[in-house]
Amino acid sequence: MASAPDPRIAKFRSQLAVADVLRARQQWSAALDGYSDAITHAPQMPSLHHNASLCLFALARYDEALPYATQALRLDPQLWQARLIRVKVLRKLKRLDEAMAALASEPRQDIPSLQTERASFALHELGDAARAGELVPSGSDSNTPPEARLLACLAALYDPGSISPEQIAARLQSYSDDHLGALSNPKPVKKSVPSATRPRVGVISPQLRATPVYFFGIGALRLLSAHVDLVFFHRNTKEDWATAQFRSIAHDWIDVAALEPTGLEQEIRRHQLDTLIDMGGWMDTQALQALATKPAKRMYKWVGGQAASTGLAAFDGFLSDIEQTPLELQPLYAEPLHLLASGYVTYTPPPYFPCAKAADPGVALGVIANPAKISRAFLHYLAKQCIAWRDEGIDFKLRFIEHRFRHVELQKRIQTALGHLAPLEFIVPEGHVAYLNEVARLHTVIDTFPYTGGLTTIEALMLGVPCRTRAGTLFCERHTLAHCRYAGMAPQHYLLDGWRPIKAQSLVRTPLLAADSPRLRHDRLADELLRMIATH
């Protein structure tokens, strides 16, 4: 006679099934509770530890996620999913050497999720966009994982090879159509509460810290807060001194880092906003999924993940200026181009910003951007220029300044292209202050292309260091051109082609952004944004 089933096992299976459903719905906290309880009953079950780590990762509780992922691998070394989440956690914790070793220890090379993670590591940590494009899983759009499709698009922004700007824009549009959700019968947004006497303006971003979102946005937002109620949707758990500045101008502050797209959409709708400004863009695709439903009456894309169009017709405008996006480039954007006469950003230096100072003796040419922007085309161009300058008898050296230049793989890539043509120096500054002081020592910044410098260019100009650039087509390909023009510089003082470095007669320098430069006139930008908000 068969024994009766153990009711405890049935209850365990039922609870586990509920946790799995909650996880599939991205209800991370509730799912974590279920897995944590299940682990107390079945501590040797590796999938439980893995799923707990997955939930903790989604909740941005990285320190807690790591032990669970590690234990899952101890229990089952073949559980590649646990290795993947462990790598992701280590990257978030900035333990990059361990993350690289963990990736290298996985023997399977044909699993799309692992291929995508290797490609992501190559792009974001090792600064090798071309390698990332080679590693990302290939296939038709229908069977390529969404994260792989997006990563391939982002890698092409940095190092497109033979891919045209129009093709990149089309691929981003295709990804947006397929995975961010087309605008379809959006629910009407309720009117603002009757007692509200000022417009309610939302700002959503995962970058409300000392990032370009702060340096380019806080000046105008601070002035805007005197006239509107700013509602910040914070899509991160990290905070710093710049976060405190955003908090100081907030009418409401909502932490929404753990909300999945549906929950985020509902939370935004609950606040009955007149206007929503997205400052996350391609850095936060889950937020873009929520915004595709148009949860606010009017929405604008601004600084932050703004390399190119989001592909979302839900936006009422893509905030830019005539230098960043001449009107003839409108076909590359799903959003209507909203060109701000004052310029699309202003710059607020940090309190620790150093004064302009004398450059080092000699001719030290600097590459200071994110190393991922060092494309094959840029290296090829720089190699040709090094030969020409050397043949003219110009004594110069190249300095590469950024924290990722500590990676031997990155140094080797540049040494292979340039090491036989010019003295190379790789400088790895510890922190922002050290970085700025190193930039101040340069003779000239050589701007990367096609993806140009943004914040790094403005910082150099403020330090009195000239920048030489070559402009392209997409938004991210015109940053330095726009910054130099709004600084009032003549083309012969910022264009790269045809330029040759000449040792400066005077080492004394002053900022190249005059006090009345549009890039420093927060009042003009704030007034223009206020008119935009009030007149629609």
Neighbours of 372 (CB within 10 A): 25
58/322 Cα distance (integer angstroms): 39
pLDDT of residue 45: 95
> What DSSP letter does each residue of 18-70 carry, written as one string?
HHHHHHHTT-HHHHHHHHHHHHHH-TT-HHHHHHHHHHHHHTT-HHHHHHHHH
**Residue labelled with tokens 């050290």:** 434
CB burial of residue 45 (10 Å; 0-12, 13-18, 19+)? middle
3-state secondary structure string across 140-177: CCCCCCHHHHHHHHHHHHHCCCCCCHHHHHHHHHHHHH
CA pair distance 377, 449, nearest whole angstrom: 8
Strand partners, 367: 400
Q: What is the DSSP letter of 360?
A: P
Q: What is the pLDDT of residue 2?
A: 55
Q: Which helix (H) or strand (E) holds 189?
A: none
d(CA 76, CA 85): 14
- pLDDT value at residue 191: 59
How far separated are the first and last CA of the chain, in Å rounded? 77
Sign of the CA dihedral 293, 299, 304, 306?
positive
Q: Which of 156, 159, 181, 184 is nearest to 170 (CA)?
A: 156
Distance CA 275, CA 51 (A): 38
pTM: 0.92
Q: How many angstroms separate the Cα of 418 from the Cα of each of 140, 398, 406, 411?
A: 37, 9, 17, 10
Are 433 and 353 in contact, with CB atoms under 8 Å apart? no
Pairing of strands 467-468, 252-255: unpaired
22-25's contacts with Cβ under 8 Å and 24+ in sequence apart are 23/51, 23/54, 23/55, 25/260
Question: Quick one: pLDDT at residue 360?
Answer: 87
Whether a cis peptide bond, with omega within 30° of 0, leads into 450 is yes
**Domains of the chain by start residue, with CATH:** 15-20+28-108 (1.25.40.10), 123-184 (no CATH), 200-346+523-534 (3.40.50.11380), 364-520 (3.40.50.2000)
Q: In sequence order, which residues have a C-beta less than 8 Å from that of residue 158 and are 6 or more positions away? A: 123, 129, 372, 373, 375, 451
Q: What is the pLDDT along the chain (536 residues), one digit of tens a residue?
A: 456 566 778 788 888 899 999 999 888 999 999 999 999 999 999 999 999 999 999 998 999 999 999 999 999 999 999 999 999 999 999 999 999 999 998 888 888 999 999 999 999 999 999 999 999 987 656 677 899 999 999 999 999 999 999 999 999 999 999 999 744 555 666 655 544 589 999 999 999 999 999 999 999 999 999 999 999 999 999 999 999 999 999 999 999 998 989 999 999 999 999 999 999 999 999 999 999 999 999 999 999 999 999 999 999 999 999 999 999 999 999 999 999 999 999 999 999 999 988 888 889 999 999 999 999 999 999 999 999 999 999 999 999 999 999 999 999 999 999 989 999 999 999 999 999 999 999 999 999 999 999 999 999 999 999 999 999 999 999 999 999 999 999 999 999 998 989 876 566 788 998 888 999 999 999 999 999 999 86
Please report how many Cα atoms fall inside a 13 Å half-sphere around the Cα of residue 36, on the Cβ side.
11
Residue 3 CB coordination number (10 Å): 5
Q: Estimate to the nearest angstrom the gap between the alpha carbon of 189 and the chain centroid.
A: 29
Integer CA distances (angstroms), 55 to 26, 32, 161, in order: 8, 6, 38
The identity of residue 160, as a single letter, is P
C-alpha 477 chain-centroid distance: 15
Calpha distance 307→507 (Å, rounded): 35
- Give every CB contact of residue 13 below 8 A, 6+ residues apart in sequence: none
Rg of the chain over all Cα atoms, to the nearest angstrom: 25
What is residue 141's predicted lDDT score, i.e. its pLDDT? 63
